[in-house]
Structure 1
Amino acid sequence: MSGISRNRATPAGGFTLLELLVALLLLVIVAGALYSSYFSVVRARERAEEGSEERRELQETLDRLHRELDAAYYQGSDKRTRLVVEDRDSYGKPASTLEFVTVAPPAADGRPASDLVAVKYAIREKEGALTLTREATDLYGSVKPIPYPQMESIRSFLVECDDGSQWVRSWDTALNPRLPKRLRITIAVREGEKTVEFATLARPRMR
């Protein structure tokens, strides 16, 4: 029997067009998921950093208010010394104004100055956003102070005074010639979808 050779069809190497399209589709899906996850992590980290910065700014503001009010100074014979709290609001939210004189350490640059500084905290409203401003100047100086933003994008700023029997929202040493026993400062800020309040309690000691 003579040998008969038969040619068997062998599949060509490589991938079919359908296989390439399926692989490409899977690659696009995976890449899209990784892209979305990466930027979600980046956005979350940015929000966390912004929140940390806002908390740091809030803590610094409350600490400064606490130190300055603890060292608040008033002397009835000197009309330049004073403590005035005005009860105001902005869009129904507390927006107190606070003016007082505080004892401050000597200037680091050696400039001639007294140890008494007139300080004012007030709320500035712009397009519905509230900014807490601070201005300070030597009590006996002639330089006009310039307010600068101490803390931006707050919800409210409330100053309350303890007169010995109750908490009041207004005070003026021109009418009540003494310092309050205590002052409570409350700042409200936005955290996510909530409004959160933070407070500090100061006790003027320079009587």
Structure 2
Amino acid sequence: MADQRGFTLIEVLVAVIVTSLLLLTVYGVFTTVDGARQRVEGDAERFHQARVIFDRIGRELHGVYWSASNLQTRFQGGLNQAGLSYLELSTTTATPQSGGGGIVVVRYEMQPDPDHVGTFMLLRSERQLFTEAFGATDTLRMAGGIESFNLRFFARGAWHDNWDAASGGLPALVELTLNEASPAGSVPFISSFAVTAL
């Protein structure tokens, strides 16, 4: 019989199986790496968002302008009637949002986030101190997808959940706790800021 060269069916099947296993392994590695990349990007976005919020509020707290003799100045915060956190203060840290420099009143408040069911968005309003009220165009969305945003005020040796400078003067510290929604669970950010009045 002549010398026959070639592959048997079993050899071809073994080669196909080995190649398939190798390709599945490579696919699994790429899928895992891509998932890790997406998680890291999401975490980086959440950390950046928290840093921007804390930097902005921290700057405004360091420039607080409050006077017991001037009823237009503000410093109050805690929970509103709906049980959502808010902070309202007069500060020298103005942005172009108010239409000029000088002393402004800034208000942060939580509202339900229509883009992410079950979470909240942080809204920021700014107006000149000597205008009567906030207008509809003054409110900007700072962040969304927030699970909670809590404030505490340290004064007279204790922490308080609500504060109004009209009845207690300025607190020494303001503690912010921000929990952002994440597919892996809540990501908490906590910081305290000294209140320095001008």
Q: Same fold (TM over 0.5)?
A: yes
Give the TM-score normalised by the residue count of structure 2.
0.82
Aligned length: 193
Do 1:89 and 1:96's aligned partners in 2 also have CA atoms closer than 8 Å?
no
Q: Which has the larger radius of gyration?
A: 1
- Which residue among 179, 189, 192 is the counterpart of 1:198? 189
Q: Is the 8 A contact 1:85 1:96 kept in 2?
A: yes
Q: Which runs of 4+ in 1 moved over 6 A?
A: none
Change (3 A) 1:112 1:48: closer
Secondary structure (helix, strand or coil) at the match of 2:61 reads: helix
In 1, distance between residues paired with 2:95 and 2:13?
Answer: 75
Q: From the superposition, tell whether residues 33 and 106 of structure 1 become closer, same or farther in structure 2 (CA, over 3 Å).
A: closer
Report if aligned partners of 1:116, 1:139 keep a CA contact under 8 Å in 2.
yes
The residue that corresponds to 1:42 in the other structure is: 34
| Whole-Å separation in 2 of the counterparts to 1:136 and 1:181 | 23
For 2:4 and 2:167, how far apart are their aligned partners in 1? 101
Equivalent position to 1:122, from 96, 109, 123: 109
CA distance in 1, matches of 2:118, 2:141: 16
Q: Give the TM-score normalised by the residue count of structure 1.
A: 0.79
| Structure with the larger helix share | 2
How far the C-alpha of 1:16 sits from its partner, in A, is: 2.0
- Alpha-carbon spacing, 1:186–1:106, altered in 2? closer, same or farther (3 Å): closer
Give the equivalent residue in structure 2 for 1:62. 54
Asked if 1:181 corresponds to 2:168, the answer is no
Does the aligned pair in 1 maintain the 2:94–2:101 contact within 8 Å? no
Distance 1:112 1:191 in 2: 36
Q: Tell me which residue corresponds to 2:69.
A: 77
- The alpha-carbon deviation at position 199 of structure 1 amounts to 2.1
Q: Which secondary structure state, in structure 2, belongs to the residue aligned with residue 175 of structure 1? A: helix
**Deviation readout 1:127-156 (Å, 9 max, x if unpaired):** 311222222223235772443332322232
Which residue does 1:137 correspond to in 2? Answer: 127
Which of these residues, 160, 163, 179, is aligned with residue 155 of structure 2?
163
Q: Answer with 180-189 or 34-43: which moved more.
A: 180-189
Write the distance in 2 (CA, Å) between the matches of 1:71 and 1:158. Answer: 21
| Residues 78, 152 of structure 2: 8 Å contact kept | no
Cα distance between partner residues in 1 of 2:99 and 2:188: 40
